[in-house]
Structure 1
Amino acid sequence: MSTPFTIHSINAYTHGLLGSMIGMFGLEPSQMRELVLDMHGQVTERLRAESIEYSDLRNALTPTSKKHEVAFIFDSTRVESWHYGLELAESWIPILSDLGPEKTAISVGDIIGLPAELAWSALHRHLVGPEDFPILSPELYFVTYMTNLTAGQLKKMDSELRNRTSAYLGYVDCTVWNPLKFAMLLPQVGLRIGSKIITTADEDGNANLPGYPFEASGFETIGVDDDQYSILLDHRLDNGVPAWAEDDSRIALSVLGGDFSPLSDGDVFANDLRITYLQESHGASLQRAGLFGIDKDILSGAVKEKISSGLVYNLRFIEGSRGSERVPELDASMFTVQVEFPDEEAGVKRYQVGLKYRAVDHSSEITTFF
């Protein structure tokens, strides 16, 4: 690799095109890398033509430790139209415009595939709303899912939704794992960046094909080729399926020089010098996760166990240098994985683990933990 790049997210998790191309056309890892980087270049140019920098989409597409992912839950039986998703959008789109995050990925859909008793139990435990929510067949609960919300934005949006529609039941904070995420196979309807909504486009370039009323709230809709969008601009809601995560990491790491081996097959390590750095620079996070001061092999094992079924984000190739001198020996291929550990208060907290990837032996060195 010779040209630096940063790719926030590659969706081989819920979108099967890249994976199917390996089998159909016998793509080699180097060909996959060229395909993804070429696609990334095209998406970057398309967005730049609309005065959007791809780099500005990072917080919408990747997990962040201090922001929330939230599922706003609606009772679709309280909507008169059969097109209840569109009708409910008339409630949440103006609120997004006025009170929501400037950068966010928005997905919508029904809760599907979860046994009714489990869905009701999960809602009873996690729904922030009335204690007596309606007991419905799970697919009658409609979800609008957003990323990158501050606590203040969440509070204001929740309050305003309650005022606008009786169909709104409350929200579930999906920042960390809960069983409802397994049933949220939600299509993304838009990626907000300021006053613009990026959507998929058809062959003629038409955006916002479902007809969501974004323009009525002052948004400009911008279309991107469907395959390019679904692979590079689609937020991956982690549904907790390890097999999907393995397929996902096989392709992601191939872009960093890997050979289609999943992340779970590789070694994870940290040498003594790195452990010292982590304890000095990320000690508070390690302490909360119960990892401070433990043996480096135990620390590496604990991290590997968590990242083996995690999703790979923020892939980047960084040219090595020493001052103004180019030093290829210092080149680095990096990526980030989200992990969850119990915290000191018997809850669960999300962390971002940064890793340096060595394609030659498919191993990863822990570099950051925050």
Structure 2
Amino acid sequence: MNDRTIYTINARGNMFLEVTKEYFSLDDEVMHSEINGMFNELIKILNSKGINYKSLKSCLTPKYDRKEIGLIFDSSKIESNWYGYEVFEKLIPLFNKDSSHSILCGDYIGDNELQNELFFRFYSQIKQTNEFKYQHSTQFFIVYINNLSENMFNKLISDLTDYQPFIGFFDLTNQSFMKSYLSTILANSFIKNNRTIILEHEDDRDNSENVNLISYPFEKSGYEVKSLQGIYYGVFLSYKIEREVFEGFESDTDFSLNSISPIVSKIKEIEIEENKFEYLKTVKKGKLKKANLIAYSKKELTQLIQKKIKSNYIYNMTDLKTHNIFKFDILIELLNTMDEIVKITIGFEYKSENGKLRLITLY
């Protein structure tokens, strides 16, 4: 049996798995089989379109050393009602042809009682590039892009500065109110995987077809469009902007764990073996020093990780069948004594029978 890794599962913004489990009263063992059956089908579909699932890792999982941006466009400065098309007509040619990203977008929406808060938060985080007049939150169209190098990040801003509807950006690399809020309102639009654009199409359309349902001018810039049914795209190819696990969204973690284990237990305890702790204090000394953790005792480090474990979603869910080990990664942020944000990726073994996590690595 081959080892397998599922980079991400979206049960946070996609209700398919939760509805299926509740409607048919399925237990964890059956759901494990169903999730993996869907994943097997996804791999077949991608392979039939010449897409290697492994090539999507960089745009489906968060990276401690990559940047994220929210490009802000004032739709009141665009004459067309289809301002999304106008924005992407300008933006698509600016992408590096050999890079991979998940792109989400949407209006800066919010109920009337939130408008004062949204106004304040907007001005507190925007890096302005062009003049604009704030009238209502919904006038702003935001495009989120992940997996950017420092150079890509700066070049996008520079290339868009002369485009008057582009009024600024949010640096979404680190946790903030804006990053968390946008994670609740932006929708997955497409994946740019080098010179291929991956989109979803209707569930009643055959997966042998490739359709550009959103009609953005990808082909005009030399990209090839591939599409698949939304049921597969939504669960396995939808990037989740990082945020803490809000009450009511815990099932996202449960389904992610269920993808690698037929038994799902709530995470109760973090385990760091003595030899592993000594390894971290020596081999990973530089990372611990940078994060101001070098003086932590094993108990203190365990307590910190326990506290941070709910600060984000899990990814890289791996079933090491040859060793009968289930493992996954999580990315946490820490503020050191120099007020620098340090990101640490931690790999855990998941012991599903008792809800224990054994720390495997940290970097």
Verify the 8 A CA contact 1:286 1:369 in the aligned structure 2.
Answer: no
Question: Partners of 1:131 and 1:125 in 2: how far apart?
Answer: 16
Task: Indicate the SS of the match to 2:88.
Answer: helix
TM-score, with length taken from structure 2: 0.92
Question: Partners of 1:260 and 1:352 in 2: how far apart?
Answer: 23
State whether structure 2 residue 251 is matched by structure 1 residue 247: yes
Unmatched runs of 5 consecutive residues or more in structure 1: 321-329
- CA shift digits 1:304-339 (9 cap, x unpaired): 11112420100001244xxxxxxxxx4321101121
Quick one: structure 1 residues 364 and 240, their matched pair in 2 at CA, closer, same or farther if it must change by over 3 Å?
A: closer
Specify the code of the residue in structure 1 equivalent to 2:100: K
**Residue 323 of structure 1 corresponds to which residue in structure 2?**
none
Specify the code of the residue in structure 1 equivalent to 2:65: K
Specify the code of the residue in structure 1 equivalent to 2:294: F
**Residue 337 of structure 2 corresponds to which residue in structure 1?**
344
**Residue 305 of structure 2 corresponds to which residue in structure 1?**
303
**Residue 14 of structure 1 corresponds to which residue in structure 2?**
13
Specify the code of the residue in structure 2 equivalent to 1:175: T
Question: Partners of 1:125 and 1:101 in 2: how far apart?
Answer: 34
Quick one: structure 1 residues 177 and 101, their matched pair in 2 at CA, closer, same or farther if it must change by over 3 Å?
A: farther
Unmatched runs of 5 consecutive residues or more in structure 2: none
Verify the 8 A CA contact 1:181 1:240 in the aligned structure 2.
Answer: no
**Residue 227 of structure 1 corresponds to which residue in structure 2?**
231
Question: Partners of 1:296 and 1:192 in 2: how far apart?
Answer: 42
State whether structure 2 residue 86 is matched by structure 1 residue 70: no
- CA shift digits 1:221-277 (9 cap, x unpaired): 101111100000010113545225411111111122264444xx4211212111111
Task: Indicate the SS of the match to 1:82.
Answer: coil
Cα displacement (A) at 1:43: 1.3
- CA shift digits 1:24-55 (9 cap, x unpaired): 11111111111111111111121122222101
Percent identity reads 24
2:215 is aligned, of 194, 211, 228, to 211
Question: Partners of 1:223 and 1:47 in 2: how far apart?
Answer: 9
Question: Partners of 1:281 and 1:16 in 2: how far apart?
Answer: 42
Verify the 8 A CA contact 2:319 2:327 in the aligned structure 1.
Answer: yes
State whether structure 2 residue 143 is matched by structure 1 residue 150: no
Question: Partners of 1:146 and 1:270 in 2: how far apart?
Answer: 35
Cα displacement (A) at 1:286: 1.9
Matches within 5 A, 1:350-369: 350-369=343-362
Q: How many residues align?
A: 355
Q: Choose 4-13 or 280-289, whichever is displaced more.
A: 280-289
**Residue 103 of structure 1 corresponds to which residue in structure 2?**
100
Task: Indicate the SS of the match to 2:330.
Answer: strand
Cα displacement (A) at 1:359: 0.9
